[in-house]
């Protein structure tokens, strides 16, 4: 991903990136060829790129978008122990992710919560209320498509940088 995109993700999401949960997301499989962590970074990159492309430069919105993207699938972590099957995971992970977001960030932002809770639209029928949520819906779909066709923005170098930021990489 481009430096400017990576820098924005770090600027607005560093406290989430530095948690144990975020670090462990790089070792949980997601879809066929990626991990939750790699997918998360791809979604955050799409979210930031959307904002920049559409002239959304205010720090508040950018921050909400980055934090929604970084947290939206963290509820999938540990799925084997939490969910009976894929359907239950699909249905329940947004709620688990929003709980993770509040727990990891220590904040309770209505716009971020709403974005995470309703990011499965239109698969789940409840639509997001704010623009941050719509940006997440788009970013999630776009990043997933890029993963499936093997054209993700997230390089091995990006993954290395984010893992190092967690401060845990040298202990592994
Ligand atoms: Fe999801
Ligand atoms: Fe996702």
Q: Roughly what angle, to the nearest 10 degrees, separates helices 156-165 and 36-53?
A: 100
With beta carbons less than 8 A apart as the criterion, state whether 34 and 140 touch.
no
CA of 84 to the centre of ligand 2 (A): 19
pLDDT of residue 161: 96
Residue with the two structure tokens 């122990």: 81
Q: Which residues sit opposite 34 in a β-bridge? A: 30
Where are the chain's structural domains?
A: 3-171
pLDDT digits (tens, 9 = 90+) for 90-144: 999 999 999 999 999 999 999 999 999 999 999 999 999 999 999 999 999 999 9
Say how far apart CA 159 and CA 41 lie, in whole Å.
8
Nearest to 37 by CA among 45, 49, 29: 29
CA of 15 to the centre of ligand 2 (A): 20
pLDDT of residue 170: 56
- Considering every ligand atom shown, identify the ligand nearest to the alpha carbon of residue 35 and give its number: 2
CA of 76 to the centre of ligand 1 (A): 8
Say how far apart CA 154 and CA 157 lie, in whole Å.
8
pLDDT of residue 7: 98
What token pair was written down for 103? Answer: 């727990």
pLDDT of residue 79: 83
pLDDT digits (tens, 9 = 90+) for 31-71: 767 899 999 999 999 999 999 999 999 999 999 999 999 99
CA angle 32, 34, 40 (to 5 degrees): 130
- Considering every ligand atom shown, identify the ligand nearest to the alpha carbon of residue 76 and give its number: 1
CATH class of 3-171: mainly alpha
pLDDT of residue 65: 98
Q: 172 vs 169, which has greater pLDDT? A: 169
166 pLDDT band (50/70/90 cuts)?
confident
CA of 142 to the centre of ligand 2 (A): 10
pTM score:
0.95
Phi-psi region of 107 (alpha: psi -120 to 50; beta: other; left: phi over 0): beta
CA of 4 to the centre of ligand 1 (A): 25
pLDDT of residue 45: 98
- For residue 82, is pLDDT > 70? yes
Average pLDDT of the chain is: 94
CA of 120 to the centre of ligand 1 (A): 6
- Considering every ligand atom shown, identify the ligand nearest to the alpha carbon of residue 39 and give its number: 2
CA of 39 to the centre of ligand 2 (A): 7
């Amino acid at each position: 991903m481009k430096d400017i995109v990576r820098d924005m993700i770090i600027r607005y999401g560093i406290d989430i990136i530095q948690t144990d949960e975020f670090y462990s997301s790089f070792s949980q499989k997601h879809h066929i060829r990626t991990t939750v962590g790699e997918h998360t970074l791809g979604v955050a990159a799409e979210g930031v790129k959307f904002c920049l492309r559409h002239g959304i430069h205010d720090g508040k919105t950018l921050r909400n978008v980055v934090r929604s993207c970084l947290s939206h699938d963290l509820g999938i972590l540990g799925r084997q122990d939490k969910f009976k099957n894929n359907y239950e995971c699909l249905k329940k992970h947004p709620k688990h992710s929003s709980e993770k977001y509040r727990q990891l960030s220590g904040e309770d932002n209505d716009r971020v919560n709403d974005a995470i809770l309703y990011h499965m639209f239109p698969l789940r029928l409840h639509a997001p209320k704010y623009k941050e949520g719509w940006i997440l819906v788009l970013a999630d779909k776009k990043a997933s498509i890029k993963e499936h066709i093997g054209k993700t923005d997230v390089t091995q170098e990006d993954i290395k940088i984010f893992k190092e930021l967690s401060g845990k990489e040298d202990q592994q």
